[in-house]
Amino acid sequence: MAEVEKAIAEILLADAGVTAITTVINPDNTPQDEDLPAIVFGRMSTDGDPHMGGATDLIEARMWIESHAIDTDTQGGSVAAWELATAVRKALDVKHGTFGGIVVQLIWRNDEGAHSLIEKEGSDKYEHVVTQEFGIAALESVA
């Protein structure tokens, strides 16, 4: 796991609001039904801050973070998925400090979240997914 991803996982696992709902936090891996509710996340892009002297450790990463939950509701969405998404937002939005071995200058939310619904074959239940996008400015090692 890259440094920014380690920081995200560390912040989420340390947050009481998140862990009251789930401790299943997976980078890039969609959870199985028995693991829900769960958080899945990944990096969309990374922009560096190069200058005349070469590369720097300053990066701005864009991350997607999904909150997954199972429910029978097909209309307004799963309360559990939205509650988890809210806990994720509260844990990350405007966060700064040293996490996962890197200096996080700031985390901010880029959007309010999109809801999707996945029908579970042979069941009256649905997997609800709330996706949010966050930006992260951090000092990450240059390979």
Domain total of the chain: 1
- Residue 79's pLDDT band (cuts 50, 70, 90): confident
Please give the pLDDT value at position 51. Answer: 59
Please give the pLDDT value at position 59. Answer: 84
Residues of the domain holding 130: 3-139
CATH at 55: 3.30.2000
What is the mean predicted confidence (pLDDT) over 121-130?
84
pTM: 0.86
Tens-digit pLDDT profile for residues 6-49: 999 999 999 999 999 999 998 887 767 677 899 999 999 887 66
Find the radius of gyration of the CA atoms of the chain. 16
Query: CB atoms < 10 A from the CB of 76, how many?
Result: 10
